Amino acid sequence: MTGGANQSTGAEAMVRMLAAHGVRHIFGLCGDTSLPFYDALARLDHGMTHILTRDERHAAYMADAYARVTGRVGICEGPSGGGATYILPGIVEANESSVPVLAITTDVATTSAGRFPLTELDQEGLFRPLTKWNGVLSDAAALPRMVRRAFREMTTGRPGATHLALPFDVQKAPVAEDEIWADAQFGKYPALRAAPSEADVERALGVIGDAKRPLIVCGGGVVLAGATAALQSLAERWGIAVATTVSGQGSLAETHPLCLGVVGSNGGRPETRAVVDGADCVIFVGCRAGSVTTERWRAPGPEAKIVHIDSDPAVIGASYRTDAAICADARLTLEALLAAEPAAFQGAEDRVAEAWAAKRAHFQPLAESLETPIRPERVIGTLNRVLPDDAIVCADPGTPCPYFSAYYTIRRPGRHFISNRAHGALGYALAASVGAQIGRPDAKVVAAMGDGSFGMCVGEFETITRLGLPITSVVFSNSVYGWIKAGQKSGFDSRYFSVDFSRTDHAAVAPAYGVKSWRVEDPGELEGVMRQAIAHDGPTLVDVIAQPLQDAAAPVSEWVA
């Protein structure tokens, strides 16, 4: 059915509403209940590109990374039943990471609900605890209004994920033409930024002004809010050190003399922990102050004054007694603080320089090691030399994440490192690299994963090859779920149970998908191979036979202790 002169079908209206919000790319996978929607995408002149994925979970991961690098809403879609359940991991990751992603899952017809149709489930109930907002489009007349609300919810306040269920019969029902419109500002984020009150700014300035050794700790909210320039200006004017969480990397270039780098239990080092311990005032900006950042709320300690800046009131005061709170947009708040002139602080550059010198003294011998299996530090040191400044690294949360967080150098502010830190599911990096490459096509994109992650995402190599994306995948091959085995070693007297598996020849698998590949066992060959892989004009994979985490010197505080 096609809409008449003064109406569109629900499927056509959905396509037109997405285009009206400025959507350029949709990531998804087809299914029976999606046929009218796909037909509308095929017929209409909408200017959007649909990216067919091999798994709904990875469609959501692609949309997540795409949103992170573009500042636009990410769109993913899938069919009813299994498709709706498969897409969930990516949606909860985006929502908890404050990344605006809209999941559209088609559904069985409203007329068959309750009569045991194939793939029926309660989609609204399924997505309710995992999204900022979600709904079922059970009435075609309400479709434009609900799509508009989904975009507003995603991009205002604390950004997050939303979901809409689109039943089969609603896709064919009529929608009035005069209802199909959008406010395009809600296709980007953050929209309708909230400015801080003068009183809150003055209170924060008073607490900060009384400090001798303040420290800013930036979460992912700084990059999400586009606050990097304001942060650098503030740090330089005040002479204040800046640390980041894993998600906050890129808030300030790590080559800046005031940037301490990552702190916390994943990627932090004793040298950076010492700076946090020595701070008498910690200013959290766009940061939830969760367990990883604070090493289970041990750093900063109870003696430090706390200033917390976040767009989400729920995180302020949740973990620390807060001496000054500002619930507002990170960029507007930093600009408001920048307008004031507190006394300049002394010694921050020296403290940062000492921490970096000690960290490099630990890292460099490992990065130059000729031991086999190859040390992960040597991989990071090599990538530091061969990747361009504007490269984007997407890293899975297992073996790669702590090494990249601690030792990979972000030389420009902005989004150059992506890892799924909210829930830490394996199999994220490869799909994220697709979203990042499509969102920023001129950048070199690297997907870093362990072999556990490889087994969960290998099908998306077909997507990468079909699209001709020049992504370089680096596999840390150690035939173990390393994070768990390292935890069994450190906390359970090395009682290893059900964590080891046989080694896959990843370099042999990759060519079956059309990916040029190398296997590296000799550390001396690593840099030459990496340069070839990065220079190649198509997809590549480097399979590194790497030291397992339980035998390594990974920058993870609980294992070091």
Q: Residue ranges of the domains in the chain?
A: 7-187, 198-350, 368-560
Q: pLDDT tens digits for 175-199?
A: 999 999 999 999 999 999 999 999 9
Is 442:494 a contact under the CB 8 Å cutoff?
A: no
What is the predicted pLDDT for the residue at 3? 55
Strands (E), 258-401: 259-262, 281-285, 305-310, 324-327, 392-395
Supply the CATH classification number for the domain 368-560.
3.40.50.970
Supply the CATH classification number for the domain 7-187.
3.40.50.970
Is 212:239 a contact under the CB 8 Å cutoff?
A: no
Kind and range of the H or E element at 78? strand 74-78
Rounded to an integer, what distance in angstroms lies between the CA atom of residue 392 and that of residue 337? 30
Rounded to an integer, what distance in angstroms lies between the CA atom of residue 378 and that of residue 368? 6
Residues of the chain with pLDDT under 70: 1-5, 342-343, 561
What is the predicted pLDDT for the residue at 561? 56
Supply the CATH classification number for the domain 198-350.
3.40.50.1220
Is 76:127 a contact under the CB 8 Å cutoff?
A: no
Give the Cβ contact number of residue 129 at 10 Å.
9
Rounded to an integer, what distance in angstroms lies between the CA atom of residue 441 and that of residue 327? 35
Backbone angles phi, psi at 83, to 5 degrees: -60, -40
Rounded to an integer, what distance in angstroms lies between the CA atom of residue 348 and that of residue 394? 31
Instruction: Tell me whether domains 7-187 and 368-560 share a fold.
Output: yes
What is the predicted pLDDT for the residue at 1? 40
Rounded to an integer, what distance in angstroms lies between the CA atom of residue 246 and that of residue 236? 22
- The two tokens of residue 121 are 């489930």
Question: How many Cα atoms occupy the beta-carbon half-sphere of 188 within 13 Å?
Answer: 9
Question: b/e map of 130-145 (b: 16 or more CB within 10 Å)?
Answer: bbbbbbbbbebebbbe
- pTM beyond cutoff 0.85: yes
Q: Which residues contact 89 (CB under 8 A, 6 or more apart)?
A: 57, 60, 423, 425
What is the predicted pLDDT for the residue at 4? 55
The DSSP code for 406 is H
Please, which residues bridge with residue 25 across strands? 49
